[in-house]
Amino acid sequence: MTLQWTFVASVLYVEIFLVAFLMLPFISPKTWQKLFRSRLASSLSTYSNIYFNIFIAILLLLFAESVRETWKYSEPLDSEELRKFPEAENLYHMKLFRAQRNMYIAGFALFLWFVLRRLVILIASEATLMAQSEASMKQAESATAAAKHFMEEKGSLDDNKKNTVTEEKDQSHVEKELNQTQAE
């Protein structure tokens, strides 16, 4: 394998490892968010869009090259060439195999590059949503506590009003009795 295809295969292996690592269930999205927002990651993310586009261009170029090679060696051999060179068919099939292998390696590396980017975006958005959910729950709990407090205050005010009304009734009843006793 040439240097460029060794590089693409190495990238594919690293991508497979990273996708598997990002999908581990015991590492929470909050932990990933902290890692994504670390100083090292933030310094890389300033130019990440440029890196991403350049790497996609390189992978697309290598994928196109491998498709061209596969197309080139997919045509059947002339029988004249086979008669002149007995090992030509084996050599031809070997080159076809290499071209197909390179096409699969570049294609999967390209595909996993997009999957990896999408996975990082989804993990980061899930962490943000979890933080917003926690903040909303805390806000709802504090609003519930405040509402209960106000309801208790209103309940004590209602009790005071009831007591005041009963005291006024009692007072008016006492005044009536007093007026009746004075009239007698």
**For residue 90, what pLDDT is reported?**
82
19-78: pLDDT as tens digits: 999 888 888 888 888 887 788 777 777 777 888 889 899 999 999 999 999 998 888 776
Question: Does pTM surpass 0.85?
Answer: no
Name the CA dihedral angle for 15, 19, 21, 24, rounded to a multiple of 10 degrees. -170
Residue pair 8/66 in contact (Cβ under 8 Å)? The answer is no
Q: Is the pLDDT of residue 174 over 90?
A: no
Residue 31 φ then ψ, to 5°: -65, -45
Q: How far apart are CA 87 and CA 157, in angstroms?
A: 103
Mean pLDDT over all residues of the chain? 83
**For residue 109, what pLDDT is reported?**
94
**For residue 60, what pLDDT is reported?**
94
Q: Of 64-73, 106-115, 144-153, which gets the smallest average pLDDT?
A: 144-153
